[in-house]
Amino acid sequence: RPFPRLFRRPPKRRWAAPFTFRLRCPPADMLVRVLGLRDYEEIWELQRRLAADRAADRVPDTLLLVEHHPVFTRGRSSRQPIPSSLPYPLHTVERGGDITYHGPGQLVGYPILHLGRLGLGVRDYLRALETVLIEALAAWDLEAERLRGFTGVWHKGRKLASIGVAVKNRVSFHGFALNVNCDLEPFARIHPCRLEPEQISSMSGALGRQVEADQVVGGLAQAFLGAFAGPAREKSHSPMFRAP
């Protein structure tokens, strides 16, 4: 099924006006909303509102794609000590995982999905998100992989993408963060997932050239839609979606 031109060619400007693409391929009805650079609190509230609406069947499954102004977030169950003198705000949120950083140049995806309708448990859903990221990176000739004992996606021993989700009423929110060309220095202040600074990288760092987030949006959205829209009912029972 062809995708619109929007998903084949990046916009000439960085983050053209926010847009929404609606995919209808019965029985699926899915939205992708590309929102540009936004404050974390605004999108956090939007996620919670959409998750409640999705649980009540008022909206379809939705993927939010966004960059954030610099901010740190921390999972509610995290036991990681909070570093002193952080340069940006810290929010404790519903997702799993420890402290992480979000900022410009990092493409963050928030899937608002009814996992019950997709036939996915949480562990299988996490593996599915990893597969989406691996496929999106493969389009850039980056051979990414999972690393045993960790959630996320890695390239040559360095982490390119992190994942932390929450589920309420069988609807997912929060999601994944892909380092495209973001400043990596803030990660050194928090040691996310007990990693050393040299274990965190970005697409630009791995490729040795500058990559912009708006160049990655199309391929990432296409990989996501290919996984979760329509054929997801059958794929949810395939090995790609099963937790090891």
Residues known to be catalytic: 193
CA distances from 216 to 10, 26, 107, 189 (A): 8, 27, 8, 27
